[in-house]
Amino acid sequence: MIKKFSVKNFRNFIEEIVLDFSKTKDYEYNEYLIKNNLVNKLLIYGPNNSGKSNLGAAIMDITTHLTDNLGVNNSLYNNYINGDSVDENVEFNYEFLFNKKNIKYSYKKDENCNLLSEELYENDKLLFKYNYKTNKYENNIEEAQTIDVKKRTNKEMSILKFIYNNTLYWKKDSALKLLMEFVDGMLWFRSLRFNEFIGVMKSNESLDDFIIKNDLLKDFEKFLKECGQDYKLCEINDCGDKVLGVKYKNDSARFSQVASTGTKSLWLFYYWMNRSDKISFVYLDEFDAFYHYELSAHILRYINNKTEFQSILTTHNTYLASNELMRPDCYFLLNNCKIKSFADNTDKTIRQAHNLEKMMHGGEFEE
């Protein structure tokens, strides 16, 4: 799990912004949202242009050089360095907790997203350090002592990735193995009109094909009904392709042509939640942009019950600020390039009976 993340000089974050998952409180309700004493389910509020999408892109940056997974939204990495900054690099710092191992991974990149340095620590012990300008490095990774990094033909490849890919044997609890497996399961997607995502997949996939090939028609129909969408789904032939269809009394139509924008958003959400066996972390940007407020609450409950992965959702919907749904140390406010939980943004002792939405509208959580 991610324990702490910080980035400096990335897009609108000229100063360092720190997201700390370890600052949990002793609330005695909705305890399932906390895992290993870390926030496992997190919801971010923030004004427009506060950097919610940029924060997701920053967290996901690690996947762009440690994995071969697909990114279909490269626009998030345009204008990489903050335009007002005189610094020539972006600094990323990740802290993970795996099986009681505290693993820190830090790196720097230039304006073209090229690596400048990498460092890896396990419980504050240096495992690996590499400077891409001087080619100086220190390697204390036990399983990788025989790897010659000079044989790396792709000079843009991460040295750590090269080492991982070219080491024959890894211990089950190796710090680098644990890191790489987690990063390989990181996902960012946006609840919009097409499958715009970063991570997890090495190639794109048709949502129609996924549901049909995995015999999920009835299950998807049930999911939609639970969301207040009553469809009778079927498989139809469209120009020789098998696609998802909707049955009517006298006809049928392609699902993608008759579904509303909100229903298509549910379709995309359902697709990714049925790939959750591959997911370690998900950043779902604007998750309820097309939902009625009650449907938003339903989807929030749905993903919060998926405790097997860590998640961050962004929203503008203040109806969701409720102790019935989450808890004050799981709600975060992003503003002025700072991010803090509701619990850390007030001197008041928040109790379960408090109305978080009313407190939020009253400015209680603003610095």
pLDDT tens digits along 241-288: 899 999 999 999 999 999 999 999 999 999 999 987 889 999 999 999
> What does pLDDT average to over the chain?
93
Q: Which helix (H) or strand (E) holds 263?
A: helix 261-273
**pTM score of the predicted model:** 0.95
DSSP-derived secondary structure letter, 256: H
The pLDDT confidence band at residue 78, using thresholds 50, 70 and 90, is: confident
Residues ≥6 apart with Cβ < 8 Å to 91: 6, 7, 8, 9, 16, 106, 108
Mean pLDDT of 36-53: 95
Q: Which two tokens stand for residue 261?
A: 């924008």
The pLDDT of residue 204 is 81
The pLDDT confidence band at residue 193, using thresholds 50, 70 and 90, is: low
Q: Which two tokens stand for residue 31?
A: 């305890």
What share of the chain has pLDDT > 70, as a percent?
A: 98
Mean pLDDT of 57-73: 89
> How far is the CA of 324 from the CAs of 68, 327, 328, 351, in angstroms?
40, 8, 11, 12
CATH superfamily of 2-200+275-361: P-loop containing nucleotide triphosphate hydrolases (3.40.50.300)
The pLDDT of residue 77 is 86
Residues ≥6 apart with Cβ < 8 Å to 358: none
Kindly report, as residue ranges, where domains of CATH 3.40.50.300 are found in the chain: 2-200+275-361
C-alpha 78/C-alpha 73 separation (Å) is 10
